[in-house]
């Protein structure tokens, strides 16, 4: 190939994947993530080669998050924004659109990794709680590595290697969770929670899931929903219900009282982390904590469930 034909090709490559090394800035691309389920993975994959910030705090309800002016400024200044999508960040949608329009790379992580036939719908809206299925979420590290590699091609191989390590960890955890839940007696595999965040989890790990509130915490549970669930609890002899760290306890208490009024000792099986890691610290810690809490309450019989009733 003649040099005159090679040069435009080289120039095009340099333009499309140039490292962003802005003058006076050595910390690499600025990455802003919405949830910790994304941010924790991005931080590990980025290492020291990018600065990663997470918008939602450890106990924050993403369904109710309203961005401040500082949040929007942070997003606007980013090189890469990673968010869940599937309407999880409802009040942030407009801001994310504006950020994308301004030329920032904006990636809806859950939408990208979820295959069409894996998607769970809730009425007209998609269920956004995809991170609850560790096998699906194990594709996220690779996606993040690819997006980071676009920002910083010279580090692409390192990003990919770190992502592969996380993927392997998530797949190993996924297998272990499946084995643990398979060992649970079939009639115990019912998960009753505050809001409907565990349907991907239930599908993957073989649990029937019932939530008091809908898929988003912006909707209130009705009295008839509570009554209907009390019937289910009594008829199916469900031993435990679970709180969630980001959701109000009122509905759970109403259900517990309703069941006890009918002579059924429904116990509180503990606190689950649905939409943020909370005290579990990290995304992976949150998965493990949920699995341990659920197996402890559903697997150990009524006596052990009663001991877990700390409220």
Residues that bind Zn ion (CB under 5 A): 197, 275
Nearer to Zn ion, 88 or 190 (CB): 88
Q: Residue 129 CB: number of other CB atoms within 10 A?
A: 25
CB of 6: closest distance to Zn ion in angstroms?
52
CB of 59: closest distance to Zn ion in angstroms?
13
> Which run of H or of E encompasses 242?
strand 240-244
Nearer to Zn ion, 63 or 139 (CB): 63
276: β partners: none
Nearer to Zn ion, 50 or 194 (CB): 194
Closest to 132 measured CA to CA, from 60, 42, 203: 203
- Rounded Cα gap, residues 116 and 289, in angstroms: 29
CB of 165: closest distance to Zn ion in angstroms?
28
CB of 33: closest distance to Zn ion in angstroms?
17
Nearer to Zn ion, 79 or 275 (CB): 275
Q: Where are the beta strands (DSSP E) in 89-155?
A: 105-108, 121-122, 125-126
- Give residues with Cβ within 8 angstroms of 170, minimum separation 6: 134, 135, 137, 138, 141, 284
Nearer to Zn ion, 126 or 149 (CB): 126
C-beta separation of 131 from 37 below 8 A: yes
- Rounded Cα gap, residues 109 and 112, in angstroms: 5
Cα dihedral 295→297→300→306 (10° resolution): 170
Take residue 4 and report the two structure tokens written for it. Answer: 């005159």
Nearer to Zn ion, 42 or 197 (CB): 197
Take residue 282 and report the two structure tokens written for it. Answer: 């990290």
- Rounded Cα gap, residues 275 and 61, in angstroms: 6
Nearer to Zn ion, 83 or 159 (CB): 83
CB of 275: closest distance to Zn ion in angstroms?
4
């Amino acid at each position: 190939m003649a040099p005159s034909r090679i040069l435009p090709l080289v120039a095009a490559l340099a333009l499309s994947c140039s490292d962003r090394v802005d003058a006076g800035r050595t910390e690499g691309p600025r990455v802003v993530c919405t949830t910790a389920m994304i941010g924790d993975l991005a931080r590990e994959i980025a290492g020291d080669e990018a600065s990663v910030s997470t918008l939602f705090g450890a106990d924050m309800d993403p369904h109710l998050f309203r961005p401040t002016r500082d949040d929007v400024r942070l997003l606007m200044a980013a090189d890469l924004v990673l968010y869940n999508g599937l309407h999880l960040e409802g009040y942030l949608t407009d801001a994310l659109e504006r950020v994308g329009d301004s030329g920032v790379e904006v990636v809806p992580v859950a939408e990208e990794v979820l295959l069409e036939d894996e998607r769970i719908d809730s009425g007209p809206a998609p269920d956004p709680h995809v991170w609850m299925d560790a096998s699906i979420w194990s594709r996220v590290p690779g996606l993040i590595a690819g997006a980071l590699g676009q920002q910083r091609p010279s580090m692409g191989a390192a990003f990919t290697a770190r992502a592969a390590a996380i993927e392997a960890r998530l797949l190993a955890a996924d297998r272990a969770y499946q084995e643990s839940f398979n060992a649970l007696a079939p009639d115990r595999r019912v998960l009753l929670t505050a809001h409907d965040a565990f349907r991907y989890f239930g599908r993957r790990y073989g649990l029937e899931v019932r939530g008091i509130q809908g898929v988003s915490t912006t909707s209130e549970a009705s009295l008839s929903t509570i009554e209907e669930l009390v019937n289910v609890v009594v008829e199916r002899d469900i031993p435990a219900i679970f709180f969630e760290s980001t959701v109000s306890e009122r509905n759970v208490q109403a259900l517990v009282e309703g069941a006890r009024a009918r002579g059924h000792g429904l116990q509180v099986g503990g606190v689950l982390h649905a939409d943020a890691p909370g005290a579990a610290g990290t995304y992976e810690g949150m998965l493990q904590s949920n699995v341990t809490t659920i197996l402890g309450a559903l697997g150990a019989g009524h006596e052990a469930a009663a001991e877990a009733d700390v409220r």
